[in-house]
Structure 1
């Protein structure tokens, strides 16, 4: 039997509602008058680490467990018919995992009768774990300046600059690409300063959303929201020590303004509090973006940069200190020999050369990962050969060998083009010149040349015939 058009329309509207519910960035959980779940969106599934079939059409008290001193805010809405806002609730999913949310819960009425309730929730589980956990305590920092490997002038200059920063409690900004070892320098500065006996706390500013990072940094006051308790933030926990703020340029500008005030006044105000608390904390900040670019791109306030950058340490990328590669390789081989119970002694000449030619966009971290991966590919060999290196590295090196420098292209164009010629003709001229160049480098070996050019042997021979290229 054909369904009425209005039924199709209702199905269409229902699909739109379901799509909207799955796209919003808050958890939505609705129950009927018996407590059975009738709506459970994708964000709620992510927050509670649950599958929809474990929750939908089941009584929530059969699925979730609550602490003795708490009850479900949804059940409370059904029982009392009262709306609650910003209530913190801690409970457990069906696997026993603890979850903490901030909820707005609304009873649904029909003709003065409660026939359901809906809850809109924000996840604060990670914040709760960070606040409850012992993030860092005295003596947990592992690195000192002795752990920084390198004899190149570039790295020696940076080490000396960082050592000078240990004499005072001025703020420090460490700038360097990802993988250059910024936290290693931060811990070294802390461990060589008079704050050595104090805590060292590290927080990645990009790891949490803005509403959580503010609570984490500055703490909360009881009553700031329903369920909020007095809890010190990271500034108070780092009292007398060092607070490392990693990826400082990922903070939004309004939070940067609040941070600037703390740095200037040396006081913090917990969320929900009315009084300021003095703090004695040295702040070290890291960023993987040039500060001038960060300011120009509106990623960092100029006044915060001037306040933080009293001492600025620029860590050079590995491609600018390649003479340190042999020393770094020795350190990493020693580390993984001990970890894997192996007896690797070094690199083959081919690997050494390729390491010196590589650009190392992932810096020291990438070098370590490649050494670790290579040693995982070895059996009882004592030397790391090119075939032991991970495929992605070898693939990048082969691609680099096939690429011709831009300067060479420009030189070729300047020398060969006196007057403008059609693009098709110019491309053929360049293609012929490039194929002849690669053939010459490979002693006219067609198979090897074809492989480097990414062509089949037959395709290369066809192009040579078409372009009148003769083997010499």
Structure 2
């Protein structure tokens, strides 16, 4: 009786261990029937225990070819494999992709079964499929944008409304905030989603080349010139995104304005105007009013481009999104690197909240990727895993030099000068607006700025009448 109780207890422990480990376990007997199938494997394959246990693997799952099952190969050929990517289908027709280690089980010279240890990569495959393959040369939709903060939600709603029309769009935001992500999302949500989306960074090319690239060239126009369509012609029916529009010189901005207004383009050296049906979007990484004042953006082009204006908030103004963004990048690079990192320590997030993120979301992604490269076997990112250049920043010095007598969560919340000045400007404008009962004309006069400038800043800082 005691022996039976011990066996029962051992079976319970064995079953608990199988269901707690974070890899899928699937074992078959000599006939190919499932004898072990744990909870993680059920999650990976989207199956219930009764659908798989005691059933032949080839009756439950479908493979591109019958012999492609690594479990069957291990059973029939005694072939052990490791880190093999395998795609197959469950009994509901859902595609499963996993990285498998497969081992034949032997009793002396006889093969009596096979077992498989699986890691799920189905989610990563789905992300790649949806974000890259589905939209051709565009990867992003509004579903790709992560954020619950009021700032980012308001911009997303405005962007979604912009998908209904063909109006020009000007997207303003600091470097690394995700301006092209929004541009691609608008394109992919519009009726032009099946047509080309072409992006050109205006600061990446010399002035001598960019005119021909934008408008095209005519053979014989200059030495070595050939008949070549410009970006407007290549984007016919679709969307042309001009990144860093303030990098174009004023004469090119004037030609661009004409193309937008006339909806036709003339190649360099050409004599005929060609009709173009292209939606124009542009991005700028500085305040447009400052760019106009500094002669980097023509005022008439600004008015023409800003029919729809989107202001992407910097990361320091949407810190409530830090946790979700960080978790997304951890999962992304954990999958890409074949690691098992799950999250980050609370003090890491606290330090993130005390930093001003001059490089915005792009800097956060690079920081997480760098941290993943410093991890050995841990499942969480700690402060010690953060890249050295980040840990050495002034606001973290007291943290990195902490002693046992100092609290671990000791990241002082020091605001950058940029953040402080931005808040001061917003608060002062809101105060003067309130004093003048939100009369735009009187407020602009009091502040010594134009109505247009004030309206831009009200929209930028999202100042609302209480």
Give 1:286 shift: 0.6
3-state SS, counterpart of residue 167 of structure 1: coil
Give 1:397 shift: 4.6
Q: Which residue of 2 aligns with 1:54?
A: none
CA distance in 1 between counterparts of 2:302 and 2:168 reads 11
Q: Is the 8 A contact 2:351 2:396 kept in 1?
A: no
Q: What is the 5 A alignment of 1:246-325?
A: 246-325=243-322
Q: Is the 8 A contact 1:217 1:233 kept in 2?
A: yes
User: 1:405-451 CA distances to partner (integer Å, 9 max, x unpaired)?
Assistant: xxxxxxxxxxxxxxxxxxxxxxxxxxxxxxxxxxxx9989xxx9xxx
The reply on whether 1:144 has 2:138 as its aligned counterpart is: no
Give 1:240 shift: 0.1
Q: Is the 8 A contact 1:354 1:397 kept in 2?
A: no
Q: Which has the larger radius of gyration?
A: 1
CA distance in 2 between counterparts of 1:401 and 1:314 reads 35
Q: 1:382 to 1:138 in 2, by over 3 A?
A: closer
- Residue 153 of structure 2, aligned match among 150, 156, 159: 156
What is the RMSD of the two structures over their aligned residues, measured on CA atoms?
2.4
Q: What is the 5 A alignment of 1:199-218?
A: 199-218=196-215
Give 1:237 shift: 0.3
Q: What is the 5 A alignment of 1:303-452?
A: 303-398=300-395
Over 3 Å off, 4+ runs: 397-402, 441-444
CA distance in 2 between counterparts of 1:266 and 1:442 reads 68
Give 1:352 shift: 1.2
Q: Is the 8 A contact 1:138 1:198 kept in 2?
A: no
Q: What is the 5 A alignment of 1:225-264?
A: 225-264=222-261
User: 1:49-72 CA distances to partner (integer Å, 9 max, x unpaired)?
Assistant: xxxxxxxxxxxxxxxxxxxxxxxx
CA distance in 2 between counterparts of 1:386 and 1:442 reads 15
CA distance in 1 between counterparts of 2:346 and 2:383 reads 9
Q: Is the 8 A contact 2:175 2:285 kept in 1?
A: yes
Q: Which residue of 1 aligns with 2:220?
A: 223
Q: Is the 8 A contact 2:391 2:397 kept in 1?
A: no
Q: Is the 8 A contact 2:244 2:283 kept in 1?
A: yes
Q: Is the 8 A contact 1:246 1:287 kept in 2?
A: yes
Give 1:227 shift: 2.5
User: 1:186-233 CA distances to partner (integer Å, 9 max, x unpaired)?
Assistant: 000000000011000010000001110000000001110133211100
Q: Is the 8 A contact 1:138 1:199 kept in 2?
A: no
User: 1:314-362 CA distances to partner (integer Å, 9 max, x unpaired)?
Assistant: 0000000000000001110110011100011111121111011111111
- Residue 192 of structure 1, aligned match among 176, 180, 189: 189
Q: 1:296 to 1:202 in 2, by over 3 A?
A: same
CA distance in 2 between counterparts of 1:385 and 1:397 reads 19
Q: 1:174 to 1:237 in 2, by over 3 A?
A: same
3-state SS, counterpart of residue 393 of structure 2: helix
CA distance in 2 between counterparts of 1:400 and 1:264 reads 55
Q: Is the 8 A contact 2:135 2:188 kept in 1?
A: no
Q: Which runs of 5+ in 1 are unaligned?
A: 1-136, 403-440, 449-472
3-state SS, counterpart of residue 212 of structure 1: helix
CA distance in 2 between counterparts of 1:313 and 1:254 reads 26
The TM-score with structure 2 as length reference comes to 0.57
CA distance in 2 between counterparts of 1:375 and 1:300 reads 41
Equivalent residue pairs, number:
274
